[in-house]
Structure 1
């Protein structure tokens, strides 16, 4: 994309013109990034003690903060058989309300997310991939790694799809 701004006027008029102020007025609020909401303290504490890079922790924080700011989402900590010392290996995101299915997303502190979506839903997303499901009983068919801002954007879209599916089931 190319934006060209052509200013015409006398040297005196051009000297008085404040381009930065004009651009700020012309820029809609929707274009500016919204602030990242705070996470519940329990989630902050969990992420702080989990091993990951600062950049990964920032991407995980951004994703979880945006998801948990939505009142239709609640969280819990999930456990699996491979858990060491009883620590929860992931944050589960669930649709608020009657629970007919499990979590629609499982977020690990190292930035890995499993979405409760069919593998075909990964199509068209640069950062998502279809899971190699070993059994048909595993409903988490889309995986994503939060390794960039673009990956966070893909994750937010996939999470919205997964939440909608969970709400309908």
Structure 2
């Protein structure tokens, strides 16, 4: 992803690999970075960012994650007019694929699952599973627990009480770590 971002920004600025690499790393090393076969050192990454006139953060972040974050924050905002479940589904649908293993992708799946509570709770459970898997991979225990709580709610609404109670029993609730607000 880092290499793809460097290449994307370099091409947007109509720069060659030589333009970017000169005095920082070799052109062949930049090519390997752009193709995901090598990772630059931190000083080299900082120099590349300066040369491209962007921040290191801009090189590291997937622009899609930024869009997902802004959308989730808009949906959660108190200053935003109320969104119907249908509108939330419509807003989030473009971000359902391709799947990435990012915090914001997990948030999109969780919110999308929430928005399916009335129209298709079974499909909502599928998106909760995706969100939970992502949060588990990222080690985001508090977010994973929130998804599990949502899943229990859906299971009770679907009259699948046995599954709900089994999930409650299996939930790993950290007693010594407070949940994020």
Same fold (TM over 0.5): no
Q: What TM-score, normalized to structure 2? A: 0.25
Q: What TM-score, normalized to structure 1? A: 0.26
Q: Comparing both structures, which one devotes a greater share of its residues to strand?
A: 1
